[in-house]
Amino acid sequence: MRDHGGNLDHAVATFGGRRDDWIDLSTGINRVPYPLPPLPRGAWTDLPTRDALDRLADAARQAYAAPAAILPVAGAQAAIQMIPRLSPPGLARVLAPTYNEHAAALRAAGWKVEEVGSAAALAGADLAVIVNPNNPDGRMVAPDHLLALAGQVKRLVVDESFADPYPELSVAPHADRQGLIVLRSFGKFYGLAGLRLGFILGDGSEIAALAEMAGPWPVSGAAIAVGCTALRDRPWAARTAARLSAEVLRLDALAEGAGWRCEGGTALFRLYETGDAIRAQALLARSRIWSRAFPYRAGWLRLGLPGSHGEWSALEDALAHGGA
C-alpha cells in the first residue's frame, strides 16, 4: 500500500476539525523550519539558469562533503521515480520494511522486486535499495558495510533522506564510485518540504543520464535561492541537529510514560510499539494531533517532534489523558 504520513485531509475527514486545528506529527519533517530568506524577484519571474543550478549543486556538494556529480531534483521522490529507468528492468531488492515508494516505483517500471530483511540479502541484485537511516525504525547500516555491499550488486541506491543529523553515517563522500547512487532530501531536515528539493549524487555518467530525464529546469528558482542559502548555513544545521537530538529524548520519555515502547527512530521521528496503533492514533486525534500508523504492523505508531512550546504541551496533555 502506498500510504504516507502528512495525510491531514484524512484526519480531518475522519475526526473532524479544520486543517489549521491539527498538529501534524505524522511525518519526519522538522517543525522548526529554516527561516526563509528574502528572495530576489527573478526567483519567481525567470527560468532557472544553468549557472544558478550549478551554484545549488556546489552548495549541496559542500554541505554533504561529496566530491561526486550532483543533480538537484524536485525532492527525493523525483529521484526515486527516475532511478528505475536508468537501466532495463531486472531483479531489485529492497531492505524492508521501509519507505514504500522505492518498491512501488521499481514495480511500476517493470522490475521484479524482492523485499528482504537484512543488508546481506541484497547481494546479487541488479539494483539494491537501502534507506539509511531507515524510515520508520531508524535502522542504521555502517558506511563500510554499504561500500562493501556496493561491490556485490550492480547498482546500490542509498537513500539518506534522514541523514542530516548523522554526517558520520553518510556515504555521500564516496558517491563518485561507479554503481553507487546517494539520495538526499532537503525538505525534511530544513523543514521546508513544500519547496520540493532534493539531490541525487553519483558518478558523472549516471547523473548525466538522470539529468536528461529531469529536463532543463528540474527545480524552481525559489528552491535554488532558498537551497543555496540554507545549505551554506552550517551553524544553523549544527544547532538544529543538537536540538533535535535532545528533544527526541523528551519525546521518548513522554511515550514511555504513556506505556509505549520505543522501537527506534532518528532525530526527526520516533517509532513506538503501542499495542494497538489505530487506538493510539485515535486517542491522539481527539486532541487534534495526527500520527502515522502502519498497515503491516498493528502496534507501530510513528511520531515526529513537536515544533513549539504549545505543541509540546498539547502532546503532553493528550498522552496524560489516555494516550496509551
42-73 confidence digits (pLDDT tens) = 999 999 999 999 999 999 999 999 999 999 99
The alpha carbon of residue 141 and the mean position of all alpha carbons in its chain are separated, in whole angstroms, by 16
Q: Is the pLDDT of residue 228 over 70?
A: yes
CB-based contacts of 134, cutoff 8 Å, min separation 6: 95, 98, 140
Report DSSP state, residue 167: G
Helices (H), the chain: 8-15, 42-45, 50-63, 76-82, 101-108, 143-150, 204-214, 221-232, 234-257, 277-285, 309-320
**pLDDT value of residue 2:** 77
Closest alpha carbon to 292 in 5, 97, 3: 5
* pLDDT over 90 (residue 321): no
Mean pLDDT score, 192-199: 98
Evaluate the omega torsion of the peptide bond into residue 136 and state whether it is cis, within 30 degrees of 0. Answer: yes
What's the pLDDT at 322? Answer: 64
ω into 97 cis (within 30 of 0): yes
Residue/partner pairs of 106-110 with CB below 8 Å, 24 or more apart: 108/84, 109/84, 109/85, 110/84
pLDDT of residue 323: 44
Bridge partner list, 112: 91
Q: What's at 158, amino acid-wise?
A: V
pLDDT digit string, tens, across residues 90-122? 999 999 999 999 999 999 999 999 999 999 999
Share of the chain above pLDDT 70, in %: 99
What is the pLDDT averaged over residues 293-297? 94
For the segment 238-270, what is each residue's pLDDT rounded down to a tens digit? Answer: 999 999 999 999 999 999 999 999 999 999 999
User: What CA–CA distance (Å, rounded) separates 97 from 74?
Assistant: 25
Assign 324 a pLDDT band (cuts: 50, 70, 90). Answer: very low
Count CB neighbours of 234 within 10 A: 10
pLDDT of 77 above 60: yes
Percent of the chain having pLDDT more than 90? 97
CB of 91 closer than 8 Å to CB of 104: no
- The DSSP-derived string for 31-43 is SSPPPPPP--THH
* Predicted local confidence at residue 97, as pLDDT: 96
Q: What is the CA radius of gyration of the chain?
A: 20
Provide the grid cell at 250.
523528551
